[in-house]
Amino acid sequence: MTVPPVTTAEDLGAQALFDELVANEQRIEPRDWMPEAYRRTLIRQISQHAHSEIIGMQPEGNWITRAPSLKRKAILMAKVQDEAGHGLYLYSAAQTLGITRDEMMQQLIDGKAKYSSIFNYPTPTWADMGAIGWLVDGAAICNQVPLCRASYGPYGRAMVRICKEESFHQRQGFEILLTLMQGSEEQRAMAQDAVNRWYWPALAMFGPPDDQSPNSAQSMQWKIKRFSNDDLRQRFVGMLVPQAEILGVTLPDPELRYDAETGRYAMGEIDWDEFFEVVRGNGPCNAERLQRRRDAHEEGAWVREAAAEYARKQALRQEVAA
Ligand code: BYC
């Protein structure tokens, strides 16, 4: 790709230079000037995304001790560790915008920060590991592949690695469901039940409908988001339909059909009242998820203290040596 010449800040003024970089598909980097609202939007989205990865470890962490074989346990542990890694890349990306990790963690623990609605649903059966991988990581890929082209450099670059790992996560979920669907009557019923429970919350992950999404228009103008919430939902359903056929599961929406004229899927209504209740903190597992995070934070206090003390001693040693 040829990079168009960029006029300097002195020529155009900082705002105009920013606009030009965005318009030319170039990246905004941490030291570049950026509008305050752009910075705030990025901190909001990236920190929510990081929190989602960290809280998202819990529903699957629930099954590590009960995975049905050593192989399944090793895969699940690797996946949950990947989510921790994603959280850390994203907290680091958000830190480049002038917020500290401590501030973000405090907002989460105080219940002031949002994280994805999806992680407030329970995981009562092993098939939930399959449904999460297939549907939740599948939705994450649809949403996050376009974020690899986000205008803010550190966010886009973090997303590249995250998406590669999400793709492995989605396949492992699909494979769990496929194995169950090739098993006994009971196993098939368990897989279908998990798909029935996760399908609608996974569709809601993409956020409210476009006409109720206050942030989309500006975020798309800034090229943080590339597609609207409803368009991504359409892509996701388009990806699921042929995969559901291979699995032999039924997507639990009797109104779902492809409309060749519009090139879009007609679908049943998502329960937006339920979605907003979950986002407000009143989902089936919100309280449990936050309490678990608070406990883990408190139990990890000694690690943070030890790391800070180690850093202090290292700095002192370097000072003495200098
Ligand atoms: N849950 O104007 P809108 C993963 C909020 S982790 C809760 O459309 P925007 C994984 C939204 O924040 C997956 N809240 O917002 C991990 C906004 O409220 P505020 C996480 C939601 O930002 C472990 C309000 O509703 N992925 O994959 O333009 C294991 C209005 O919405 C939700 C990301 O975070 C929701 N579902 O678009 C397995 C991706 N949806 O902030 C898997 C990055 C909306 O104004 N984020 N809200 O108070 C994004 O792409 C965008 O932020 C969203 C929302 C599409 C989520």
Query: Which atom of ligand 1 sits closest to the CA of residue 115?
Result: 7
Within a 13 Å sphere around the CA of 144, how many CA atoms are in the beta-carbon half? 26
Alpha-carbon gap, residue 11 to 260, rounded angstroms: 50
User: Which pairs from 17-26 meet CB under 8 Å and 24+ separation?
Assistant: 21/151, 22/151, 22/222, 22/223, 25/149, 25/223
**Helix ranges (DSSP H) in the chain:** 9-12, 14-23, 36-55, 57-61, 70-95, 101-109, 127-131, 137-144, 153-181, 185-204, 216-221, 229-247, 272-277, 286-299, 301-321
Cα 200 from Cα 88, distance rounded (Å): 28
- 75, 11, 86, 93: which is closest to 52 by C-alpha? 86
Model pTM score:
0.94
Q: Which helix (DSSP H) or strand (DSSP E) does residue 259 occupy?
A: strand 257-259
List, chain by chain if needed, residues with CB within 6 Å of any ligand 1 atom: 44-45, 48-49, 52-53, 56, 83, 114, 116-117, 136-137, 140, 143, 204-208, 213-216, 219, 225, 229, 279
CATH architecture of 10-321: Up-down Bundle (1.20)
pLDDT in tens, 281-294: 999 999 999 999 99
The phi, psi pair for 265, rounded to 5°, reads -85, 135
- The mean of the pLDDT values for the chain is 96
Q: What pLDDT, on a 0 to 100 scale, did the predictor assign at position 4?
A: 59
What angle is formed at CA 85 by the lines to CA 82 and CA 87, rounded to 5 degrees?
115
Q: Which amino acid is at 93?
A: A
Predicted pLDDT of residue 8: 63
C-alpha span between 144 and 225 (Å, rounded): 9
* Residue matched to tokens 């105009």: 16
List Cβ neighbours of 187 (8 Å cut-off, separation of 6 or more).
Answer: 127, 180, 181
Going by alpha carbons, the residue nearest to atom 26 of ligand 1 is: 49
Per-residue pLDDT, 9: 60
Going residue by residue through the chain (322 aa), what tens digit of pLDDT does each one get? 555 566 566 666 899 999 999 999 999 999 999 999 999 999 999 999 999 999 999 999 999 999 999 999 999 999 999 999 999 999 999 999 999 999 999 999 999 999 999 999 999 999 999 999 999 999 999 999 999 999 999 999 999 999 999 999 999 999 999 999 999 999 999 999 999 999 999 999 999 999 999 999 999 999 999 999 999 999 999 999 999 999 999 999 999 999 999 999 999 999 999 999 999 999 999 999 999 999 999 999 999 999 999 999 999 999 999 9
* Per-residue burial over 8-40, b = 16 or more CB atoms within 10 Å of its CB, e = otherwise: eeeeeeeeebbebbbeeeebbeeeeebeeebbe
Contacts of 141 (CB under 8 A, 6+ apart): 163, 166, 167, 170
Nearest residue to 73 via CA among 154, 170, 176? 176
Of 38, 52, 152, the residue with max ligand 1 atoms within 8 A of its CB, to mutate for a pocket test, comes to 52
| C-alpha separations of 198 from 3, 65, 120, 137, 252 in Å | 43, 22, 11, 11, 10
The angle at the Cα of 296, spanning 291 to 302, to the nearest 5 degrees, equals 140
The per-residue pLDDT for 243 is 98
Q: What tokens does 109 get?
A: 């623990």
Q: Which residue has the tokens 């399959």?
A: 130
Burial of 161 (0-12, 13-18, 19+ CB in 10 A): middle
Ligand 1 geometric centre to CA of 299 (Å): 28
Please give the structure tokens belonging to residue 231. 């368009």
Query: Cβ of 64: how many Cβ atoms within 10 Å?
Result: 16
Atom 15, ligand 1: which residue's CA is nearest?
A: 215
Tens of pLDDT along 60-103? 999 999 999 999 999 999 999 999 999 999 999 999 999 999 99
CA of 125: how far to CAs of 130, 190, 251, in Å?
10, 8, 19
